[in-house]
């Protein structure tokens, strides 16, 4: 039997994500949204692409959660997106109310599911979802690091004129303005970029990565990025659905790792059928550690509003 994925929020990120998952043939997809007709219409449109693209995934849309029962993976994308000049944190109060309901309603119908939170400010929303569902930290975590790393990889590949497939990048910390790209652990064909690029070049790429979301918001003016965010989330979903044990940066509730307790932050984890199967600790130098701690404290102050 095919696996089942629920995507809550049928907006830009949710609908594109549903498309990626359905077209990969990995799972059937249920798209849920408040807006009447939108999830049903988008689901039908996606379903009708099946004969052309050659996939048999079932895709349905709903305004309530009953159809989501028995999902293997639930992905929360519902909520407001940024407008120009807004930070992710400006979305906090409104999106917390939305995520609380979406996570609780979907979680109780699929109590064994793995939940991925995308809605911003993502690290705090992952905390809200964990509290709302009562899921253990292995089964509720956030998407941010895969996207931030992909942006860093894109900029590295462009700067060095090499294939993106040769680039690996490491971004730690919260998915916000204080995220911590780690050049020492970012490589091209296994060679650290610190040996390939000058400090000024690296600093420029790091800054562009930190601003990656805002750069797109400023260009679009009426919404935020969704092609790369949906690709990043689909990679995480695939790792879970296929039990790949893939190492990916995800926002996880830390319980002592990296010297941090009781807060979500982006760190490398092993993703498999059980969700987060291991948190991987890498050695940080003093400057990296300071950046990570600053980022963690920014998330902690957001979470404090919900404890």
Ligand X SMILES: NC(=O)c1ccc[n+]([C@@H]2O[C@H](COP(=O)([O-])OP(=O)(O)OC[C@H]3O[C@@H](n4cnc5c(N)ncnc54)[C@H](O)[C@@H]3O)[C@@H](O)[C@H]2O)c1
**Rounded to the nearest 5°, which phi and psi values hold at 35?**
-65, 125
Interacting positions 126-165 with ligand X (CB under 6 A):
143-144, 147
β pairing state of 191-192 and 187-188: antiparallel
* 64 C-beta neighbours (distance < 10 Å), count: 10
**Residue 205 · residue 155 · CB < 8 Å:** yes
* CA 68/CA 74 separation, integer angstroms: 9
Which of 102/241 has CB closer to ligand X? 102
Which residue of 41, 50, 192, 223 would you call a contact of ligand X, by CB under 6 A? 223
> According to the binding rule CB under 6 A, does residue 76 interact with ligand X?
no
Which residue of 71, 119, 133, 186 would you call a contact of ligand X, by CB under 6 A? 119
Which of 9/197 has CB closer to ligand X? 9
Return the range that interacts with ligand X (CB under 6 A); candidates 66-74, 75-83, 107-115, 186-194. 75-83
| Of 120, 116, 133, 129, nearest in space to 214 by CA | 120
* CA 83/CA 106 separation, integer angstroms: 28
β pairing state of 171-172 and 180-181: antiparallel
| Min CB(300)–ligand X separation in Å | 18
Interacting positions 10-69 with ligand X (CB under 6 A):
10-14, 32-35
> According to the binding rule CB under 6 A, does residue 81 interact with ligand X?
yes
**Residue 235 DSSP SS3:** helix
Which residue of 171, 225, 236, 276 would you call a contact of ligand X, by CB under 6 A? 225
Which of 171/206 has CB closer to ligand X? 171
| Min CB(161)–ligand X separation in Å | 27
> According to the binding rule CB under 6 A, does residue 82 interact with ligand X?
yes
Residue number closest to ligand X, CB atom: 11
**Residue 68 DSSP SS3:** helix
> According to the binding rule CB under 6 A, does residue 122 interact with ligand X?
yes
Structure tokens at 142: 């956030």
Which residue of 77, 106, 133, 154 would you call a contact of ligand X, by CB under 6 A? 77
Return the range that interacts with ligand X (CB under 6 A); candidates 190-198, 203-211, 224-232, 285-293. 224-232
* CA 39/CA 304 separation, integer angstroms: 33
* Known active-site residue 175: yes
Which of 122/239 has CB closer to ligand X? 122
> According to the binding rule CB under 6 A, does residue 3 interact with ligand X?
no
| Min CB(142)–ligand X separation in Å | 7
Interacting positions 226-245 with ligand X (CB under 6 A):
226, 229
Which of 212/291 has CB closer to ligand X? 212
Asked whether the bond before 121 is cis by omega within 30 degrees of 0, the reply is yes
**Residue 126 · residue 263 · CB < 8 Å:** no
Which of 205/250 has CB closer to ligand X? 250
Which residue of 68, 72, 79, 180 would you call a contact of ligand X, by CB under 6 A? 79
* CA 193/CA 102 separation, integer angstroms: 41
Identify the helix (H) or strand (E) that includes residue 3.
strand 3-8
**Rounded to the nearest 5°, which phi and psi values hold at 127?**
-65, -45
* C-alpha torsion 99→104→105→106, nearest 10: 80
- Tell me which residues touch ligand X (CB under 6 A): 8-14, 32-35, 77-82, 91, 95, 98, 101-102, 118-120, 122, 143-144, 147, 175, 223-226, 229
**Residues tagged active-site:** 175
């Amino acid at each position: 039997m095919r696996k089942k994925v629920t995507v809550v929020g049928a907006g830009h990120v949710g609908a594109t994500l549903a498309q990626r998952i359905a077209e990969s043939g990995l799972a059937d997809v249920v798209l849920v949204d408040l807006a009447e007709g939108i999830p049903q219409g988008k689901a039908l449109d996606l379903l009708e692409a099946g004969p052309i693209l050659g996939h048999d995934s079932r895709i349905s849309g709903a305004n309530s959660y009953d159809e989501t029962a028995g999902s293997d993976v639930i992905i929360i994308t519902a909520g407001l997106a940024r407008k120009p000049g807004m930070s992710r944190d400006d979305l906090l109060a409104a999106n917390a109310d939305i995520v609380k309901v979406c996570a609780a309603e979907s979680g109780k119908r699929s109590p064994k599911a793995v939940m991925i939170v995308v809605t911003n400010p993502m690290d705090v929303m992952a905390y809200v979802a964990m509290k709302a569902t009562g899921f253990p930290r292995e089964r509720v975590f956030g998407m941010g690091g895969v996207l931030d790393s992909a942006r860093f990889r894109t900029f590295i590949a462009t700067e060095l004129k090499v294939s993106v497939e040769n680039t690996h990048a490491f971004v730690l910390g919260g998915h916000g303005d204080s995220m911590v790209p780690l050049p020492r652990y970012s490589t091209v064909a296994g060679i650290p970029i610190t040996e390939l690029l000058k400090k000024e070049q690296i600093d420029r790429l790091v800054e562009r990565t930190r601003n990656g979301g805002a750069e797109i918001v400023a260009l679009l003016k009426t919404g935020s990025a969704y092609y790369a965010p949906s690709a990043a989330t689909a990679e995480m979903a695939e790792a879970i659905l296929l039990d790949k044990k893939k190492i990916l940066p995800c926002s996880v509730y830390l319980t002592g790792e990296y010297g941090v307790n009781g807060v979500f932050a982006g760190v490398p984890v092993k993703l498999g059928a059980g969700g987060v199967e291991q948190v991987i600790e890498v050695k940080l130098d003093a400057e990296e550690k300071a950046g990570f701690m600053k980022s963690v404290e920014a998330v902690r102050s957001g979470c404090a509003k919900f404890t």
